[in-house]
Amino acid sequence: MTTPKQDNFYMPAEFELHDASIMIFPERPGSWNYDAKPALKSFLEIFKAITKSELLYLITSNSKYTEAEIFIKKNQLQNIKLLEIAQNDAWARDTAPTFVKNNKTGEVRGIDWQFNAWGGLFDGLYQNWQEDNALAKKFCSETGYACYNAQHFVLEGGSIHSNGQGSILVTEACLLSQGRNPSLNKQQITEILCEYLGAEKIIWLPRGIYHDETNEHVDNICAFLNPEEVVLAWTDNQNDPQYALSNACLEVLKQEKLKIHKLPIPENPICITEHDLQGYVFEEGEDVREVGERLAGSYVNFYFTNDSVLLPQFGGNNKKSDLFALELMQKLCPEREIIPIPARELLLGGGNIHCLTQQIPKGGKFS
């Protein structure tokens, strides 16, 4: 058994060129209320945006295969390859492989981390995650990518961000949580990440977005725009619980040689309504929702395609915040189209655009 670093593989940045993206057709009734119909409107906009410039692998269960096929035809979508692979939910960022690339040959391989529903029996969000955990290996087998076995280590793709040049962003709140790798300390986790992601440095941010049920994934709080610049979710409101979390991250980022851009969170918290709640069907042992519950809204949970940025928009009383985020991201990424994606329904599912997508870097399947 070799590791990616031993084989000269590293994790490219998301803003680099992709061969394809991966998504999963939504169906879990405890995540996607009203039979996923509201969320599918937002999924459709993501499908359209991605397939403008790259292939989209769309994973679906056997029971939803025909529905997904009809959905693709009805909306005249092109550049989509439908794959039938069993899974427990639609969070491709966390259950699909993390891809690494050989810095000499350009070969791309996947990594099969252990997935335990964001905390396993300690504080996981549902009890049955076996199909999710098996997805990465099956995807690589179906599509012809070699795959590293990292089942000894619990990790989700949303908990890591790479700048493509040896630095990885993570949060302590997530990676040091007791539901993931409790027998490993910070230094041991650092070594494993460096070995499997071909990295030289792990930047440990203390916290993530307030009330993020993933134990505060980094992809909701901070992201690389290029190797030397990041955006950080921010609020100037010192009475908002997010202020202390973002400020703690800012202090760490100041120690790095990075240019930091503050990207304000939605001005008004996004909360679950009675109507939202009535549409869910929760199974036994699944994390349930409550009326008034604050969701982890953040504009940092965007996704780079080959020619655009897919940016969350929350609407309602956050239209001013939405517009500010759009204008700021256009200034920060002038060479890309900034595509607004209605994201409230995605947030109701428990995540956002970045959580639903996983990139496959441009390269070959075999050296």
List, by residue number, the catalytic residues. 355
The answer to whether 150 and 114 have CB atoms below 8 angstroms apart is yes
Distances (CA, A) of 306 to 106, 310, 311, 335: 18, 11, 14, 11
Question: Is residue 4 exposed (0-12), middle (13-18) or buried (19+ Cβ within 10 Å)?
Answer: buried
Q: In this structure, are residues 122 and 116 in contact, taking their beta carbons and an 8 Å threshold? A: no
Concatenate the DSSP letters of all residues of 83-147 into one string: EE---SSS-HHHHSPEEEEETTT-BEEEEEEE--TTTHHHH-S-S--HHHHHHHHHHHHHHT--E
Q: Is 3 exposed, middle or buried (0-12, 13-18, 19+ CB in 10 A)?
A: middle
Which residue shows structure tokens 């500010």? 324
Residue pair 158/96 in contact by the 8 Å Cβ criterion: no
CA–CA dist 297, 359 (Å, integer)? 22
- Count of Cβ atoms closer than 10 Å to residue 152 Cβ: 9
Please state, in angstroms and rounded to a whole number, the distance separating the CA atoms of residues 231 and 222. Answer: 6
Burial class (CB in 10 A: 0-12, 13-18, 19+), 366: exposed
Strands 229-234 and 259-264: parallel
